[in-house]
Amino acid sequence: MLQPLIDLQQVTYAYPVRPGSAQQESPALRKLSLQIQQGEYVVILGHNGSGKSTLARQCNALLLPDQGQVIVAGMDTRDLASHPAIRARVGMIFQNPDNQLIATVVEDDVAWSLTVLGYSASEIRQRVNEALEAVGIADLRALPPHKLSGGQRQRVAIAGILALRPDCIIADEATSMLDPVSRQEMGKLFARLNRDLGITIVQVTHLLEEAVYAQRIVLMEQGQIVQTGQPGQLLSDIERLRALKLIIPDSLSLAARLRAAGFRIAEDAVTVEQIAREIARE
């Protein structure tokens, strides 16, 4: 049995209660267990407050479990000395690209972590080139980040992580501030990094349409995993998804209604193209 890249075992976590607050914080994660294998493309799906971002932050030791344990590439996140090694292997990008870019020029930003870690100039140059190529913004390398669109800035953030040659990228709602076209392109980029470079992708989102390209979906609610499976298995139960406060894309609604009316539409048809093909076949 292959050892998982990320192994959460019975993890419980509650955010510290703010002093003076009357509210008792309920745990954001409750006895949650999840294994993510090297090379997987996993989407963590849930509405705001379901615990999905907390789960993501446990995966690279930004948060540590109150109970249970998280093992990343064989390292226990409770061991503080392992944090730099864990974060070099599991990188994270966040919702707002503006909060994660620091340098005044794109290529300096991508080189930042490498510089801090003391890599040689030639090594840095090579890795930055590779990373910029991989995310498709090599032509923007000399521009200041504020000249870029939101989608381009997220690519800079991803390149900064790629330059560290990680095993895994966690994208925490990284597309929710982008326009629909950039969002689709970001999804394609994740799929490509996963397929071509073998990078494990963990994408945290509340959007079902982003989940359709994943190999596996992990559905969260109230700090627990309520279901996990392939998109086709999970996305055909529309009523359940709606009950979990997710927006149902019209393409899936239509497929479900037609299926209920006796149309033969395969359950694993989840993308717009697949659904169109199934309907046209009838």
Which of 47/78 has CB closer to other proteins? 47
Contacts with other proteins by CB under 8 A lie at: 47-49, 95, 149-150, 176-177, 179-181, 184, 206, 209, 245-247, 249-251, 253-254, 257-258, 261, 263, 272-273, 275-277, 279-280, 282
Closest separation between CB of residue 248 and other proteins, Å?
A: 8
Closest separation between CB of residue 277 and other proteins, Å?
A: 7
Block residue for tokens 């109230």:
222
Structure tokens at 19: 């002093």
Which of 109/278 has CB closer to other proteins? 278
Instruction: Write the CA distances from 250 to 43, 208, 246, 253, 268, integer angstroms.
Output: 20, 11, 12, 5, 16
**Residue 6 DSSP class:** E
- Shortest CA distance to 65 belongs to which of 76, 53, 50, 81? 76
**CA distance linking residue 279 with residue 276, whole number of Å:** 5
Closest separation between CB of residue 58 and other proteins, Å?
A: 21
Closest separation between CB of residue 249 and other proteins, Å?
A: 5
Closest separation between CB of residue 81 and other proteins, Å?
A: 37
Closest separation between CB of residue 181 and other proteins, Å?
A: 5
Residue 241 burial class via C-beta count within 10 angstroms: exposed 0-12, middle 13-18, buried 19 and up: buried
Which of 78/242 has CB closer to other proteins? 242
**CA distance linking residue 20 with residue 133, whole number of Å:** 50
- For 226, other C-beta atoms within 10 Å of its C-beta total 13
Structure tokens at 252: 């899936």
**Residue 159 amino acid letter:** A
**Residue 144 amino acid letter:** P
